[in-house]
Amino acid sequence: MSNRLAGLLLAATILPASAATSLPIPTSGQNALRIEGSNTLGARLAPALVEGLMQSQGLTQIRVEPLANGSRVIGLSTDNRPVPVEIVTEGSSSGFVALSESRAQLAAASRPIKEAEIKLLASGGDMLSQDAEQVVAIDGVAVIVHPNSPLTQLSTAQLAAAFSGEAKNWEDLGVSGGPIKVMALDQLSGTFDTFDSAVLSPLGKAIRSDAQRFSSHVSLAEQVAQNPAAIGFVGLAFVGANKPLAIADGNADALSPQDTLVASEDYPLSRRLFLYIQPNESNAWARALIEYAQSPAGQKLVAANGFVSQAVRTMQVPVETQMPESYKALASQAKRLSVTFRFKEGNAKLDNKALQDVQRVANFIKANNKSNQQVALIGFSDSKEDAARAELVSKLRAMAVRRELSKAGVNLREVQGLGQAMPIASNDVESGRIRNRRVEVWVY
């Protein structure tokens, strides 16, 4: 791993709190809110966020009751009426079905909504709008092995070989251990979707047919910890006693799933965790939970439950000889922020997370008295045949971020486009190209 990325150091910042509002108490026997979807979110984080929202509303005697397929959080109002919130954890796909059938008001997802799901829910509004799609946390899909395994890192190509069955023995991956025992989450899991789309599908491979499948991150992690021949993947919050491996995407450095690299989404298996709400949804508890999840108090709970918050932090980047000269100068004089803006091919449009991140960055800059020419934006592109075009596109994307920060009152010091320099991922697959199409924010 390079010193530049391995040496990132973070300093947390606090954003302004949002004001609490008084929410309606449900009729006896009814839920105030029902959430369905991702086990990654639902097992731990969603109950914690619901409990935090209830506390902010003055509810007391809050308790979490286990259900066969999730949990129920119950608090008492000031007049001793129960306020239940039900959380069902049957996989990201199930959440969108629940919205379409009006069984739930929020869908929890550990991967972005798919085109078919957008069409399924079209009657309720645009599910890709800023109103509907909310990123509430950042997570890393951690590839885990037994704590005593001598293995420390793998490339995405080696991962694909192991999980597809092409590599049958640990010796095929350079260590001793005999036959590889593959453990994976089931087809309904958004975590499996993330792993499949980042590791297996780009190389035309599929999970091996004899893989042991799980619906629970906790159960999978426990089984890996008991089996020295096992390899699996879980959300970052569920690594437990296992050893997480550093992952190399293409020719880029192998990066471990530490908070610094997950927060900036540089780690190859970083992913966003979402709450989706239909734009025509009128449930006040659903909208309040989204607002609470995005607040400083909600983001503290994100971090406390093993995920990576979206609070803006600074990262010290060590100077390295292979850096472009202008980047060396920047790294020696300034610090990078944990927020990184990324773009789809062919446009410079900021996505829903980016629009919220603009305000987070602006708040951080103002709170630290950096608004007057103390901020630099550095754009990068994925690989292009024409290097000049790559440089132009990278600067145009940085300028798009500049426009939004300027609206928020930030007067920038410089904007650079470094083209296809310094790739952090493979340019052979779209998931890698997206990570290379980025704009970094630096403060002096």
**pLDDT at residue 347 tops 80:** no
What percent of the chain is predicted at pLDDT more than 70?
95
Q: Which of 270-284, 299-313, 345-359 has the lowest mean pLDDT?
A: 345-359
DSSP state of 248: E
Give domain status of residue 384, yes or no: yes
Q: Are residues 145 and 236 in the same domain?
A: yes
CATH code of the domain containing 103: 3.40.190.10
> Looking at residue 1, what is its pLDDT?
41
Confidence of residue 258 (pLDDT cuts 50, 70, 90): confident
Helices and strands in the chain, H and E counts: 15, 20
| pTM of the shown model | 0.83
Contacts of residue 36, Cβ cutoff 8 Å, sequence gap at least 6: 87, 88, 89, 90, 94, 95, 98, 99, 103, 104, 106, 107, 108
Q: Is residue 103 part of a domain?
A: yes
Cβ neighbours for 202, distance < 8 A, ≥ 6 positions apart: 156, 428, 429, 430, 431
On whether residue 10 sits in a domain, the answer given is: no
Residue after which a domain boundary falls, among 304, 327, 355: 304
Structure tokens, 241: 């006693």
Domain assignment present for residue 268? The answer is no
Q: Is the pLDDT of residue 62 over 90?
A: yes
CB atoms within 10 A of CB 377: 23
Residue 403 lies in a domain: yes
For residue 345, pLDDT over 50 is answered with yes
20 lies in some domain: no
Write the DSSP symbol of residue 170.
Answer: G
pLDDT at position 6, please?
Answer: 38
What's the CATH number where 429 sits? 3.30.1330.60
- Could you list the residue range(s) of the whole structural domain that residue 198 is in? 139-263
Same domain, 247 and 281: no
Question: For all residues of the chain together, what is the average pLDDT?
Answer: 92
Same domain? 192 vs 339: no
> How confident is residue 11, by pLDDT bands cut at 50, 70 and 90?
very low
Q: What is the pLDDT of residue 412?
A: 95
Band (pLDDT 50/70/90 cuts) for residue 431 is confident
pLDDT score of 10 more than 80: no
Place of tokens 């900036």: 264
User: Bridge-partner residues for 86, per DSSP?
Assistant: 34, 72
pLDDT of residue 12: 32
Amino acid at 169: N
Answer yes or no: do 253 and 327 share one domain: no
The tens digit of pLDDT for each residue in 199-247 reads 999 899 999 999 999 999 999 999 999 999 999 999 998 999 999 999 9
Question: Are both 76 and 223 inside the same structural domain?
Answer: no
Do residue 144 and residue 248 come from a single domain? yes
Judge if 149 and 186 occupy the same domain.
yes
Whether residues 122 and 151 share a domain: the answer is no
Tell whether the model's pLDDT for residue 250 goes beyond 50: yes
Whether residue 288 lies inside any domain: the answer is: yes
What pLDDT is stored for residue 344 in this prediction? 81
Q: In this structure, are 131 and 278 located in the same domain?
A: yes
Separation in Å, CA 189 to CA 28, 41, 124, 193, 432? 33, 11, 24, 7, 22
Which contacts of 265-269 are long-range, i.e. CB under 8 A and separated by 24 or more positions? 265/138, 265/340, 265/342, 265/435, 266/5, 266/340, 266/424, 266/435, 267/140, 268/156, 268/198, 268/425, 268/432, 268/435, 269/140, 269/141, 269/142, 269/143, 269/194, 269/195, 269/198, 269/199, 269/233
Regarding whether 208 and 157 lie in a shared domain, the answer is yes
Residues 169 and 254 in one domain: yes
Judge residue 268's burial from the number of C-beta atoms within 10 Å of its C-beta, 0-12 exposed, 13-18 middle, 19 or more buried: buried
* Residues 146 and 130 occupy one common structural domain: no
The predicted-structure confidence for 259-289, as pLDDT tens digits, reads as follows: 888 999 999 999 999 999 999 999 999 999 9
Number of domains in the chain: 3
d(CA 399, CA 305): 36
40 inside domain: yes
